[in-house]
Structure 1
Amino acid sequence: MTPATTLLTPTDCALILIDQQAGLAFGVGSIDRQTLVANTVALTRTAVAFSLPIVVSTSASKVYSGPLMPPIHAVIPGVQPIERRNMNVWEDATAQAAVVATGRRRLLISGLLSEACVTFCALSALADGYDVLVVADACGGLTTTSHELALRRLEAAGAKLTSWIQVLLELQRDWTRHETYDAARAIVEAHGGGYGIGLAYSRDMIHPV
Protein backbone atom coordinates (compact mmCIF):
# COMPACT_ATOMS: atom_id res chain seq x y z
CA MET A 1 0.00 0.00 0.00
CA THR A 2 1.25 3.50 -0.84
CA PRO A 3 2.23 5.41 2.32
CA ALA A 4 -0.30 8.14 3.00
CA THR A 5 2.46 10.74 3.38
CA THR A 6 3.96 10.29 -0.08
CA LEU A 7 3.14 12.70 -2.89
CA LEU A 8 0.51 11.78 -5.43
CA THR A 9 1.67 10.32 -8.73
CA PRO A 10 -0.36 9.71 -11.90
CA THR A 11 0.19 5.97 -11.53
CA ASP A 12 -1.14 5.52 -7.99
CA CYS A 13 -4.54 7.23 -7.87
CA ALA A 14 -8.01 7.14 -9.34
CA LEU A 15 -10.79 9.74 -9.34
CA ILE A 16 -14.29 8.96 -8.09
CA LEU A 17 -17.04 11.43 -9.00
CA ILE A 18 -20.14 10.86 -6.88
CA ASP A 19 -23.56 12.30 -7.71
CA GLN A 20 -22.34 15.45 -9.45
CA GLN A 21 -25.92 16.08 -10.58
CA ALA A 22 -27.97 19.26 -10.81
CA GLY A 23 -30.82 18.01 -8.64
CA LEU A 24 -28.40 17.60 -5.74
CA ALA A 25 -26.46 20.77 -6.55
CA PHE A 26 -29.70 22.73 -6.04
CA GLY A 27 -29.42 21.93 -2.33
CA VAL A 28 -25.78 22.92 -1.92
CA GLY A 29 -25.25 25.88 0.39
CA SER A 30 -21.61 25.44 1.40
CA ILE A 31 -20.10 26.80 -1.83
CA ASP A 32 -21.27 28.88 -4.76
CA ARG A 33 -22.73 26.38 -7.21
CA GLN A 34 -20.96 27.80 -10.26
CA THR A 35 -17.67 27.60 -8.38
CA LEU A 36 -18.45 24.02 -7.39
CA VAL A 37 -19.05 23.03 -11.00
CA ALA A 38 -15.96 24.90 -12.22
CA ASN A 39 -13.79 23.23 -9.58
CA THR A 40 -15.15 19.81 -10.48
CA VAL A 41 -14.55 20.45 -14.17
CA ALA A 42 -10.97 21.50 -13.37
CA LEU A 43 -10.45 18.36 -11.28
CA THR A 44 -11.91 16.13 -14.00
CA ARG A 45 -9.76 17.79 -16.68
CA THR A 46 -6.77 17.16 -14.43
CA ALA A 47 -7.61 13.47 -14.15
CA VAL A 48 -7.89 13.26 -17.95
CA ALA A 49 -4.63 15.15 -18.47
CA PHE A 50 -2.73 12.73 -16.24
CA SER A 51 -4.59 9.61 -17.48
CA LEU A 52 -6.10 8.73 -14.12
CA PRO A 53 -8.85 6.09 -14.07
CA ILE A 54 -12.20 7.82 -13.51
CA VAL A 55 -15.25 6.19 -11.96
CA VAL A 56 -18.50 8.14 -12.15
CA SER A 57 -21.56 7.13 -10.15
CA THR A 58 -24.99 8.74 -10.08
CA SER A 59 -28.23 8.15 -8.21
CA ALA A 60 -31.91 8.84 -8.86
CA SER A 61 -30.96 10.29 -12.25
CA LYS A 62 -34.37 9.56 -13.78
CA VAL A 63 -36.59 10.69 -10.92
CA TYR A 64 -34.93 13.61 -9.15
CA SER A 65 -31.21 14.25 -9.47
CA GLY A 66 -30.80 14.37 -13.24
CA PRO A 67 -27.80 13.20 -15.25
CA LEU A 68 -24.15 13.98 -14.62
CA MET A 69 -23.93 17.75 -15.01
CA PRO A 70 -23.25 18.64 -18.67
CA PRO A 71 -20.03 20.66 -18.16
CA ILE A 72 -18.50 17.66 -16.36
CA HIS A 73 -19.86 15.15 -18.86
CA ALA A 74 -18.32 17.20 -21.69
CA VAL A 75 -14.87 16.51 -20.24
CA ILE A 76 -15.41 12.74 -20.07
CA PRO A 77 -18.01 11.90 -22.73
CA GLY A 78 -16.81 8.31 -22.94
CA VAL A 79 -17.23 7.52 -19.24
CA GLN A 80 -20.53 5.83 -18.47
CA PRO A 81 -21.96 6.75 -15.05
CA ILE A 82 -22.87 3.82 -12.81
CA GLU A 83 -26.38 4.29 -11.45
CA ARG A 84 -26.98 3.36 -7.81
CA ARG A 85 -29.89 3.08 -5.41
CA ASN A 86 -27.71 3.08 -2.32
CA MET A 87 -26.25 6.35 -1.04
CA ASN A 88 -22.92 4.62 -0.49
CA VAL A 89 -20.82 3.78 -3.55
CA TRP A 90 -19.11 1.10 -1.48
CA GLU A 91 -22.42 -0.67 -0.80
CA ASP A 92 -23.27 -0.88 -4.50
CA ALA A 93 -21.61 -3.99 -5.93
CA THR A 94 -21.20 -2.61 -9.45
CA ALA A 95 -19.81 0.76 -8.38
CA GLN A 96 -17.43 -0.73 -5.83
CA ALA A 97 -16.23 -3.29 -8.36
CA ALA A 98 -15.47 -0.49 -10.82
CA VAL A 99 -13.29 1.24 -8.23
CA VAL A 100 -11.51 -2.00 -7.33
CA ALA A 101 -10.95 -2.74 -11.03
CA THR A 102 -8.86 0.42 -11.43
CA GLY A 103 -6.17 -1.30 -9.37
CA ARG A 104 -5.44 1.99 -7.61
CA ARG A 105 -5.23 2.17 -3.83
CA ARG A 106 -5.37 5.97 -3.63
CA LEU A 107 -8.77 7.49 -4.22
CA LEU A 108 -9.53 11.12 -4.98
CA ILE A 109 -13.18 11.72 -4.11
CA SER A 110 -15.39 14.56 -5.36
CA GLY A 111 -19.12 14.61 -4.92
CA LEU A 112 -22.45 15.60 -3.48
CA LEU A 113 -23.46 15.71 -0.77
CA SER A 114 -20.58 16.00 1.67
CA GLU A 115 -22.73 14.86 4.59
CA ALA A 116 -23.90 11.65 2.92
CA CYS A 117 -22.57 10.08 -0.26
CA VAL A 118 -19.07 11.57 0.01
CA THR A 119 -18.71 10.68 3.69
CA PHE A 120 -20.14 7.19 3.36
CA CYS A 121 -17.91 6.22 0.44
CA ALA A 122 -14.79 7.70 2.02
CA LEU A 123 -15.33 6.00 5.38
CA SER A 124 -16.02 2.64 3.74
CA ALA A 125 -12.95 2.89 1.49
CA LEU A 126 -10.81 3.83 4.49
CA ALA A 127 -12.12 0.79 6.34
CA ASP A 128 -10.99 -1.36 3.42
CA GLY A 129 -7.48 0.03 3.59
CA TYR A 130 -7.58 2.62 0.81
CA ASP A 131 -5.75 5.94 1.04
CA VAL A 132 -8.54 8.50 0.61
CA LEU A 133 -8.18 12.13 -0.39
CA VAL A 134 -11.34 14.21 -0.40
CA VAL A 135 -11.12 17.09 -2.87
CA ALA A 136 -12.99 19.43 -0.58
CA ASP A 137 -13.50 22.33 -2.98
CA ALA A 138 -15.09 19.92 -5.48
CA CYS A 139 -17.62 18.73 -2.91
CA GLY A 140 -20.72 20.48 -1.64
CA GLY A 141 -22.81 20.26 1.51
CA LEU A 142 -26.23 21.49 2.47
CA THR A 143 -24.79 24.17 4.73
CA THR A 144 -21.30 25.46 5.45
CA THR A 145 -21.51 24.05 8.97
CA SER A 146 -22.65 20.58 7.94
CA HIS A 147 -20.04 20.44 5.15
CA GLU A 148 -17.26 21.39 7.55
CA LEU A 149 -18.45 18.89 10.16
CA ALA A 150 -18.44 16.14 7.53
CA LEU A 151 -14.87 17.05 6.55
CA ARG A 152 -13.79 17.07 10.19
CA ARG A 153 -15.27 13.60 10.69
CA LEU A 154 -13.47 12.33 7.58
CA GLU A 155 -10.17 13.86 8.62
CA ALA A 156 -10.48 12.32 12.07
CA ALA A 157 -11.08 8.94 10.41
CA GLY A 158 -7.89 9.24 8.38
CA ALA A 159 -8.94 10.87 5.11
CA LYS A 160 -6.81 13.70 3.75
CA LEU A 161 -8.33 16.95 2.56
CA THR A 162 -7.06 18.59 -0.60
CA SER A 163 -8.12 20.94 -3.43
CA TRP A 164 -8.24 20.54 -7.18
CA ILE A 165 -5.30 22.91 -7.71
CA GLN A 166 -3.16 21.02 -5.21
CA VAL A 167 -3.97 17.76 -6.99
CA LEU A 168 -2.92 19.26 -10.34
CA LEU A 169 0.29 20.81 -9.05
CA GLU A 170 1.19 17.67 -7.11
CA LEU A 171 0.77 15.49 -10.17
CA GLN A 172 2.69 17.89 -12.43
CA ARG A 173 5.37 18.99 -9.91
CA ASP A 174 7.85 19.93 -12.63
CA TRP A 175 6.87 22.30 -15.43
CA THR A 176 9.48 20.64 -17.65
CA ARG A 177 7.34 17.47 -17.76
CA HIS A 178 6.46 18.13 -21.38
CA GLU A 179 3.97 15.29 -21.82
CA THR A 180 1.46 16.97 -19.47
CA TYR A 181 2.70 20.57 -19.57
CA ASP A 182 0.26 21.97 -22.13
CA ALA A 183 -2.82 20.32 -20.62
CA ALA A 184 -1.91 21.24 -17.04
CA ARG A 185 -1.14 24.82 -17.95
CA ALA A 186 -4.40 25.17 -19.89
CA ILE A 187 -6.38 23.95 -16.88
CA VAL A 188 -4.67 26.43 -14.55
CA GLU A 189 -5.17 29.29 -17.01
CA ALA A 190 -8.89 28.46 -17.35
CA HIS A 191 -9.68 27.76 -13.70
CA GLY A 192 -6.81 28.99 -11.54
CA GLY A 193 -7.90 32.59 -10.93
CA GLY A 194 -5.00 34.99 -10.44
CA TYR A 195 -2.46 32.21 -10.75
CA GLY A 196 -3.91 31.32 -14.13
CA ILE A 197 -3.83 34.95 -15.21
CA GLY A 198 -0.16 35.04 -14.26
CA LEU A 199 0.63 31.95 -16.30
CA ALA A 200 -1.16 33.39 -19.32
CA TYR A 201 0.76 36.64 -18.90
CA SER A 202 4.10 34.85 -18.74
CA ARG A 203 3.23 32.89 -21.87
CA ASP A 204 2.32 36.00 -23.83
CA MET A 205 5.02 38.34 -22.51
CA ILE A 206 8.01 36.24 -21.53
CA HIS A 207 7.71 33.54 -24.20
CA PRO A 208 9.21 30.62 -22.27
CA VAL A 209 10.96 27.96 -24.30
Structure 2
Amino acid sequence: MTDLPLLNPNEAVLLMVDQQAGLAFGVGSTDRQLLISNTVALAKTAKTFQIPVVVSTSASKVYSGPLMPTLRNVLGDVQSIERRNMNAWEDDAVRSTIAQTGRRRLIVSGLLTEACVSFPVLSALAEGYAVSVVADTCGGITAESHSLALRRMEAAGATMTSWLQVLLELQRDWTRKETYDGARSIVEAHAGGYGIGLAYARDMIHPV
Protein backbone atom coordinates (compact mmCIF):
# COMPACT_ATOMS: atom_id res chain seq x y z
CA MET A 1 0.00 0.00 0.00
CA THR A 2 1.29 3.48 -0.88
CA ASP A 3 0.68 6.73 0.95
CA LEU A 4 1.33 8.90 -2.12
CA PRO A 5 -1.97 10.83 -1.83
CA LEU A 6 -0.88 12.10 1.60
CA LEU A 7 1.64 14.89 1.95
CA ASN A 8 5.15 13.87 2.92
CA PRO A 9 7.42 16.53 4.44
CA ASN A 10 10.35 15.19 2.41
CA GLU A 11 8.54 15.75 -0.88
CA ALA A 12 6.82 19.11 -0.37
CA VAL A 13 7.73 22.76 -0.85
CA LEU A 14 5.60 25.69 0.34
CA LEU A 15 5.05 28.75 -1.87
CA MET A 16 3.72 31.83 -0.07
CA VAL A 17 2.63 34.60 -2.43
CA ASP A 18 2.01 38.27 -1.59
CA GLN A 19 1.21 37.88 2.10
CA GLN A 20 1.37 41.67 2.46
CA ALA A 21 -0.81 44.13 4.35
CA GLY A 22 -1.58 46.24 1.29
CA LEU A 23 -3.21 43.24 -0.34
CA ALA A 24 -4.84 41.99 2.86
CA PHE A 25 -6.75 45.31 2.94
CA GLY A 26 -8.56 44.13 -0.19
CA VAL A 27 -9.66 40.79 1.21
CA GLY A 28 -13.43 40.54 1.53
CA SER A 29 -13.88 36.76 1.37
CA THR A 30 -13.10 36.04 5.03
CA ASP A 31 -12.17 37.61 8.36
CA ARG A 32 -8.69 39.12 7.94
CA GLN A 33 -7.48 38.32 11.46
CA LEU A 34 -8.47 34.69 11.06
CA LEU A 35 -6.78 34.62 7.67
CA ILE A 36 -3.54 35.93 9.20
CA SER A 37 -3.73 33.44 12.07
CA ASN A 38 -4.25 30.57 9.62
CA THR A 39 -1.33 31.72 7.49
CA VAL A 40 0.98 32.01 10.49
CA ALA A 41 -0.07 28.50 11.53
CA LEU A 42 0.83 27.20 8.06
CA ALA A 43 4.24 28.91 8.18
CA LYS A 44 4.91 27.42 11.61
CA THR A 45 3.90 24.01 10.27
CA ALA A 46 6.40 24.28 7.42
CA LYS A 47 9.16 25.21 9.86
CA THR A 48 8.25 22.40 12.27
CA PHE A 49 8.38 19.78 9.52
CA GLN A 50 11.42 21.35 7.83
CA ILE A 51 9.61 22.00 4.57
CA PRO A 52 11.38 24.52 2.31
CA VAL A 53 9.50 27.82 2.04
CA VAL A 54 9.64 30.09 -1.01
CA VAL A 55 8.25 33.56 -0.37
CA SER A 56 7.42 36.08 -3.08
CA THR A 57 6.16 39.65 -2.78
CA SER A 58 5.17 42.33 -5.27
CA ALA A 59 5.01 46.14 -5.26
CA SER A 60 6.37 46.10 -1.72
CA LYS A 61 7.73 49.65 -1.92
CA VAL A 62 4.86 51.34 -3.75
CA TYR A 63 1.62 49.77 -2.58
CA SER A 64 1.56 46.34 -0.96
CA GLY A 65 4.18 46.80 1.75
CA PRO A 66 6.65 44.16 2.97
CA LEU A 67 5.85 40.63 4.05
CA MET A 68 3.59 40.85 7.12
CA PRO A 69 5.65 41.06 10.34
CA THR A 70 3.94 38.07 11.97
CA LEU A 71 5.12 35.92 9.08
CA ARG A 72 8.62 37.41 9.05
CA ASN A 73 8.93 36.51 12.73
CA VAL A 74 8.10 32.86 11.95
CA LEU A 75 10.08 32.49 8.73
CA GLY A 76 13.23 34.08 10.08
CA ASP A 77 15.97 34.14 7.47
CA VAL A 78 13.77 33.17 4.51
CA GLN A 79 14.32 35.91 1.94
CA SER A 80 11.38 37.21 -0.06
CA ILE A 81 11.70 37.24 -3.84
CA GLU A 82 10.34 40.52 -5.20
CA ARG A 83 8.69 40.38 -8.61
CA ARG A 84 6.74 42.63 -11.00
CA ASN A 85 4.26 40.28 -12.61
CA MET A 86 1.08 38.77 -11.16
CA ASN A 87 2.04 35.20 -11.96
CA ALA A 88 4.90 34.13 -9.70
CA TRP A 89 5.51 31.14 -11.96
CA GLU A 90 6.53 33.53 -14.74
CA ASP A 91 9.24 34.97 -12.49
CA ASP A 92 12.51 33.15 -13.20
CA ALA A 93 13.81 33.55 -9.65
CA VAL A 94 10.67 32.11 -8.05
CA ARG A 95 10.36 29.21 -10.46
CA SER A 96 14.05 28.29 -10.29
CA THR A 97 14.11 28.47 -6.48
CA ILE A 98 11.23 26.00 -6.34
CA ALA A 99 12.87 23.76 -8.95
CA GLN A 100 16.16 23.75 -7.04
CA THR A 101 14.47 22.06 -4.08
CA GLY A 102 13.90 19.03 -6.30
CA ARG A 103 10.42 18.67 -4.84
CA ARG A 104 7.36 18.18 -7.03
CA ARG A 105 4.58 18.53 -4.44
CA LEU A 106 3.75 22.21 -4.17
CA ILE A 107 1.74 23.70 -1.30
CA VAL A 108 0.41 27.18 -2.09
CA SER A 109 -0.87 30.02 0.10
CA GLY A 110 -1.38 33.65 -0.83
CA LEU A 111 -3.25 36.80 -1.76
CA LEU A 112 -5.28 37.43 -3.79
CA THR A 113 -6.94 34.18 -4.81
CA GLU A 114 -8.29 35.51 -8.09
CA ALA A 115 -4.87 36.16 -9.61
CA CYS A 116 -1.64 35.83 -7.64
CA VAL A 117 -2.70 32.48 -6.18
CA SER A 118 -4.57 30.92 -9.08
CA PHE A 119 -2.14 31.90 -11.85
CA PRO A 120 0.97 30.13 -10.44
CA VAL A 121 -1.15 27.16 -9.38
CA LEU A 122 -2.50 26.69 -12.90
CA SER A 123 0.99 27.14 -14.35
CA ALA A 124 2.59 24.65 -11.95
CA LEU A 125 -0.11 22.09 -12.69
CA ALA A 126 0.60 22.48 -16.41
CA GLU A 127 4.24 21.59 -15.69
CA GLY A 128 3.33 18.41 -13.86
CA TYR A 129 3.54 19.51 -10.24
CA ALA A 130 1.11 18.07 -7.70
CA VAL A 131 -0.42 21.18 -6.11
CA SER A 132 -2.29 21.61 -2.83
CA VAL A 133 -3.96 24.98 -2.26
CA VAL A 134 -4.39 25.86 1.41
CA ALA A 135 -7.72 27.58 0.89
CA ASP A 136 -8.12 29.04 4.38
CA THR A 137 -4.79 30.84 4.03
CA CYS A 138 -5.87 32.48 0.77
CA GLY A 139 -8.10 35.52 0.50
CA GLY A 140 -10.12 36.96 -2.35
CA ILE A 141 -11.73 40.30 -3.03
CA THR A 142 -15.21 38.84 -2.58
CA ALA A 143 -16.45 35.51 -1.27
CA GLU A 144 -17.85 34.69 -4.71
CA SER A 145 -14.70 35.49 -6.68
CA HIS A 146 -12.57 33.61 -4.11
CA SER A 147 -14.84 30.56 -4.46
CA LEU A 148 -14.77 30.71 -8.24
CA ALA A 149 -10.97 30.86 -8.26
CA LEU A 150 -10.77 27.85 -5.93
CA ARG A 151 -13.18 25.94 -8.15
CA ARG A 152 -11.15 26.74 -11.27
CA MET A 153 -7.94 25.49 -9.65
CA GLU A 154 -9.64 22.35 -8.39
CA ALA A 155 -11.08 21.64 -11.82
CA ALA A 156 -7.56 21.92 -13.25
CA GLY A 157 -6.29 19.29 -10.80
CA ALA A 158 -5.27 21.13 -7.63
CA THR A 159 -6.21 19.71 -4.24
CA MET A 160 -8.07 22.02 -1.86
CA THR A 161 -7.04 21.74 1.79
CA SER A 162 -6.75 23.69 5.07
CA TRP A 163 -3.76 24.53 7.23
CA LEU A 164 -4.97 22.16 9.95
CA GLN A 165 -5.35 19.28 7.51
CA VAL A 166 -1.83 19.96 6.22
CA LEU A 167 -0.45 19.80 9.78
CA LEU A 168 -2.34 16.62 10.69
CA GLU A 169 -1.44 15.02 7.37
CA LEU A 170 2.24 15.66 8.02
CA GLN A 171 2.11 14.54 11.65
CA ARG A 172 -0.29 11.57 11.13
CA ASP A 173 0.68 9.94 14.42
CA TRP A 174 1.00 11.81 17.72
CA THR A 175 3.69 9.32 18.78
CA ARG A 176 6.09 10.89 16.27
CA LYS A 177 8.12 12.65 18.94
CA GLU A 178 10.39 14.64 16.63
CA THR A 179 7.56 16.98 15.64
CA TYR A 180 5.07 16.34 18.46
CA ASP A 181 5.80 19.42 20.58
CA GLY A 182 5.90 21.78 17.61
CA ALA A 183 2.75 20.44 16.00
CA ARG A 184 0.83 20.42 19.25
CA SER A 185 1.81 24.00 20.11
CA ILE A 186 0.58 25.18 16.69
CA VAL A 187 -2.77 23.46 17.18
CA GLU A 188 -3.17 24.91 20.68
CA ALA A 189 -2.38 28.43 19.45
CA HIS A 190 -4.38 28.48 16.22
CA ALA A 191 -6.99 25.70 16.05
CA GLY A 192 -9.76 27.17 18.20
CA GLY A 193 -11.78 24.62 20.16
CA TYR A 194 -9.61 21.74 19.01
CA GLY A 195 -6.58 23.51 20.42
CA ILE A 196 -8.40 24.25 23.66
CA GLY A 197 -9.24 20.55 23.94
CA LEU A 198 -5.61 19.52 23.46
CA ALA A 199 -4.48 21.96 26.10
CA TYR A 200 -7.14 20.68 28.49
CA ALA A 201 -6.11 17.08 27.91
CA ARG A 202 -2.48 17.95 28.56
CA ASP A 203 -3.32 19.61 31.86
CA MET A 204 -5.99 17.23 33.11
CA ILE A 205 -5.18 13.74 31.89
CA HIS A 206 -2.27 12.11 33.67
CA PRO A 207 -0.90 8.60 33.26
CA VAL A 208 -1.79 6.23 36.09
Give the alignment's TM-score, normalised by structure 2: 0.97
Please provide the CA RMSD for this pair.
1.3
CA shift, 1:207, in A, is 3.2
- Between the aligned partners of 1:188 and 1:87, the Cα distance in structure 2 is 32
Whether contact under 8 Å (1:109, 1:134) holds in the other structure is yes
Q: Tell me the amino acid that sits aligned with residue 121 of structure 2.
A: A
CA shift, 1:149, in A, is 0.2
Helix, strand or coil at the partner of 2:14: strand
Correspondence for 1:133: 132
Give the alignment's TM-score, normalised by structure 1: 0.97
List, as ranges, runs of 4+ consecutive aligned residues in structure 1 with deviation greater than 6 Å.
none
Matched, 1:106 2:105: yes
Structure 2: give runs of 5+ residues left out of the alignment.
Answer: none
Where do residues 193-204 of structure 1 align in structure 2 (5 Å cutoff)? Answer: 193-204=192-203
Matched, 1:8 2:15: no
| Cα distance per residue 1:1-45 (max 9 Å; x no partner) | x99x61111111010000000000000000111011000000000
CA shift, 1:208, in A, is 5.6
Matched, 1:65 2:47: no
Residues matched between the structures, number: 207
- Between the aligned partners of 1:35 and 1:148, the Cα distance in structure 2 is 17
Structure 1: give runs of 5+ residues left out of the alignment.
Answer: none
Q: Tell me the amino acid that sits aligned with residue 182 of structure 1.
A: D
Whether contact under 8 Å (1:202, 1:208) holds in the other structure is no
- Between the aligned partners of 1:8 and 1:207, the Cα distance in structure 2 is 32
Q: Tell me the amino acid that sits aligned with residue 75 of structure 1.
A: V
Q: Tell me the amino acid that sits aligned with residue 82 of structure 1.
A: I
